[in-house]
Amino acid sequence: MKTIEQKRLEFLEETIAHFNINNRGLNAKGDCSYTDGCAIGRHLPKELCEYIDQLEWSSVGNPDVISLLPADMQKLGTYFLVGVQALHGNPEAWDTEGLTDAGKSQAQKIRNQYCI
């Protein structure tokens, strides 16, 4: 059975592998939006993403958003998920190859804080 730290690391690494500058789930303005497939929103049914985008405070740290996530994702923890979402939304963290040096540093901080 995997530990919570192992599950977090697996989620983080899968998220990093999924995104690059050409596939970051950003809307036309360059903002992250649940309906455009953000790091967290891509795990939700489309109709829930549209609902979340309408919330006044649609941060993944919002308890209303957390409660809509699958139970196994909720168990990863709010602060961890906020950190992954922040990595995803940081334009300086990504280029056409994936993570930049700044992004690698940010990802390592998440690993050190939540996955070890």
**Digit-coded pLDDT (tens) for 9-42:** 999 999 888 886 556 555 555 566 665 567 887 7
Other CB atoms within a 10 A radius of the CB of residue 10 amount to 13
Quick one: pLDDT band at residue 97, thresholds 50, 70, 90? confident
Q: What is the pTM of this model?
A: 0.84
List, for residues 45-69, the tens digit of each pLDDT value: 777 766 666 665 567 787 877 888 8
Q: Which residues of 70-86 are buried (b: 16+ CB within 10 A; e: fewer)?
A: eeebeebebebbbbbbb
- What is the CB-side half-sphere exposure of residue 8 using CA atoms within 13 A? 25
Burial class of residue 14, CB neighbours in 10 A (0-12, 13-18, 19+): exposed
